[in-house]
Amino acid sequence: MLSLRERVVRFGPGDGLAGIITTRREPGSEALPCVVIINAGIIHRVGPNRLYVDLARTIALLGFTVLRFDLAGLGDSAAMRGTMSLDESALHDVQQAFAFLAASRGATRFLVVGLCSGANYGIQTAFMEPRVDAVLAIDPSVARTRRSTIVHFARRLKHMATMREFIAFRHPIFRRTLGDRRSMAAAQAAAGQSERRVEIAAATTASLANVTTELNRTMDRGMRLMLVFTGGVNHMYNYQKQLFDLLPDVDFRDLLTLRYMPETDHTVSDLDSRRELMADVTAWLMMVFTEARHPAEQGLALVPSERRS
Amino acid sequence: MNLFFFGSSGRQLFGAYHAPPASVPTRGAALLCPPWGLEYLVSHRIFRRLAVRLSEAGYHVLRFDYYGTGDSAGERDEGDLTSWESDANTAADELRDMSGMATFATIGVRLGAVVAWRVATRRSDVHTTLLWDPVVQGTSYVREMVAAQQEIDRWLVVPVKKQRSPEGTHNVLGFPLTAAMRTTIEAITPEAFETPTRANVKVFNSDDASGSSDLYRALHAAGTPFHAETIAGQTPWREDEAIGASGLSVLVLERMVEVLR
């Protein structure tokens, strides 16, 4: 890591947002976009199991300027102010990061990176911000398909620990069904739950239609997208091509790189999977941005990611 | 709060320095030693809150990350308990330099408490060491961590890939536990707390775990006066493993500030 430089930055209203900028000591190309990494949940800017530190350093080695920072109320940033919702505040803070990088680095284009809620915010930012050239989203929110539901329950049935709990009547499903039905209040709650499920299903359908529209719009303007799905969300996403079953009307052209990593956890925490992800991200960035160059330009083991072209 | 990097160019460490407000008389300085792994993530918010409360009470406070952890340089599999102690010493010098204080308190949580203790036993400028749920028996700590990981693995429908390399490294609650880490952590025994120290020793326990009685016995055996208290219901270290978040343990934080006043 000797060829990297890291420094603390403060920006936003009252300099209330705190972050770390990672750059390569050898100057990178000015043509490259600046990178913004968005918190996952409430974990501070190092990321879950330090994933964001690894991503920032890996990406910076290619010549990018990378900012990982704390949204308002997280890590070392000041608390949220005003009346914005959590989501509004997060998206507002990402815009603050863009403004800071534009003012301090002359950035005009951006690459947004995030895991889980950070991935969702990254994608939402890309929908409303034409300066976003590319998004790397790890385990964004995703809906099940009929096939993924079948795969999920089939796997659960084959799973020994689950079966043991089931046979011993200790599985949570018994508490949710038999136990809950013992009282009228619980029955009413169950009825409410059923209505809620219908609401969620309707919202999901509407959301998918909206996502389809927005994704097609971003693809029209040539935005590049790398999506990673891990085994940590295998209850929702559990086969390679699920994305295309879920969003059949999105024309991804050659702008999507999809990586399915069923044997690693949500935060890609084991060393081997983490290395594989870093190699994939490196390969993707070097494919998407021709100015991205590793300082060594040799000896870098790149694992080509699976793409749909 | 001043966020900054310090240490040598080959071993850059991240620090967060909280100076007391000008309106409050200065009472002293405190070095916060974080735990490791998941417990580090879980305690980050707690440490920030503790640093703010202590600085409001008149303390110069330095939080920092060991090499290979948090925002500091280095990889996740670099470092062990010995090198973390060395980093704490570097941070202690930085704290003295920044605050202008000749002495300071060390405050540590879990493995960080072991680091805080060691710094207090090896330096003469530590006036108080405050240990929160210290790891007293390293073998038990490692065993509990491995068991917690196994419990998670047991419920995985698709098994997580087993690590191929390097030899002896295991993924424990999202962090690589290397052979060097394991060796230095497993070397922690109650007898380690028999080392004499000139610092005032204060122990906070979240529960009456067997480790605490071993610790008290060791401190008694060494003739080290100490203050200990148990504040039940404030054990955030294993909460919300999936999201790395936790409650703030306000009762413990406020007691720590009171004790240091």
Please tell me which of the candidates B73, B155, B175 has its beta carbon nearest to residue A1: B73
pLDDT at A180: 52
What's the average model confidence in pLDDT over A99-118? 97
- What CATH number does the domain located at A4-139+266-298 have? 3.40.50.1820
Host H or E run for residue A132: strand A132-138
Intra-chain end-to-end CA distance of chain B, in Å: 21
Given a contact cutoff of 8 angstroms between Cβ atoms, the answer to whether B57 and B261 are in contact is yes
Contacts of A46 in chain B (CB under 8 A): 41, 70-71
- Whether A299 has a pLDDT exceeding 50, the answer reads no
The full DSSP string for B32-100 is EE---THHHHHHHHHHHHHHHHHHHTTEEEEEEE-TTSTTSSS-TTS--HHHHHHHHHHHHHHHHHHH-
Given a contact cutoff of 8 angstroms between Cβ atoms, the answer to whether A39 and A71 are in contact is yes
Contacts of A5 in chain B (CB under 8 A): none
Report the percent of chain A where pLDDT is more than 70: 81
What's the average model confidence in pLDDT over A279-303? 76
- Return d(Cα B194, Cα B215) in angstroms, integer: 9
pLDDT in tens, B40-89: 998 899 899 999 999 999 999 999 999 999 999 999 999 999 999 999 99
Intra-chain end-to-end CA distance of chain A, in Å: 35
pLDDT in tens, B87-106: 999 999 999 999 999 999 99
Structure-model confidence comparison of residues A212 and A158, the more confident one = A212
Determine the distance from the C-alpha atom of residue B2 to the mean position of all C-alpha atoms in its chain, rounded to a whole number: 21
pLDDT at B72: 97
Give the three-class secondary structure for A97.
helix
Given a contact cutoff of 8 angstroms between Cβ atoms, the answer to whether A78 and B204 are in contact is no
pLDDT at A298: 41
User: Residues of B numbered 43-102 whose beta carbons fall under 8 angstroms of chain A's beta carbons: which are they?
Assistant: 44-45, 48, 69-71, 73-77
Contacts of A18 in chain B (CB under 8 A): 3
Indicate the average pLDDT of chain A: 87
- Whether B245 has a pLDDT exceeding 70, the answer reads no
- Whether A251 has a pLDDT exceeding 60, the answer reads yes
ipTM associated with this complex: 0.93
pLDDT in tens, A43-97: 999 999 999 999 999 999 999 999 999 999 999 999 988 889 999 999 999 999 9
The full DSSP string for A235-276 is TT--STTHHHHH-TT---TT-EEEEEETTS-TT--SHHHHHH
- Return d(Cα A85, Cα A98) in angstroms, integer: 20
CA geometry: angle at A285 spanning A280 and A287, to 5°? 95
Given an 8 Å threshold on Cβ–Cβ distance, is B5 in contact with A8?
A: yes
Helix%, strand%, coil% for chain A, nearest 5: 45, 15, 35
pLDDT at A82: 87
Given an 8 Å threshold on Cβ–Cβ distance, is B244 in contact with A41?
A: yes
Contacts of A10 in chain B (CB under 8 A): 3
- Whether A213 has a pLDDT exceeding 70, the answer reads yes
Q: Please state which of the ranges A73-82, A163-172, A283-292 shows the lowest mean pLDDT.
A: A163-172
- A vs B, Cβ pairs < 8 A, gives 102
For residue B67, give how far its alpha carbon lies from the nearest alpha carbon of chain A (Å). Answer: 12
What's the average model confidence in pLDDT over A147-161? 83
> Within 10 A of B13 (CB to CB), how many other CB atoms are there?
24
Sequence-separated (6 or more) residues with CB below 8 Å from residue A32:
A62, A63, A64, A65, A289, A291, A292
- Residue B111: name the closest of B75, B149, B137, B78 by CA: B137
pLDDT at A300: 39
Q: Check if A57 contacts B (Cβ < 8 Å).
A: no
One-letter amino acid at B158 equals: V
B2-136+189-260 fold: Rossmann fold (3.40.50)
Contacts of B174 in chain A (CB under 8 A): 48-49, 265, 267, 269
DSSP A307: B
Domains in chain A: boundaries: 4-139+266-298
Chosen from A22, A271, A273 to mutate, greatest number of chain B CBs within 10 A: A271
- Whether B161 has a pLDDT exceeding 70, the answer reads no
For residue A87, give how far its alpha carbon lies from the nearest alpha carbon of chain B (Å). Answer: 18
Given a contact cutoff of 8 angstroms between Cβ atoms, the answer to whether A276 and A305 are in contact is no
Indicate the average pLDDT of chain B: 90
- Return d(Cα A175, Cα A139) in angstroms, integer: 30
Given an 8 Å threshold on Cβ–Cβ distance, is A270 in contact with B4?
A: no
What are the residues facing B16 on neighbouring strands?
B3, B63
pLDDT at A307: 30
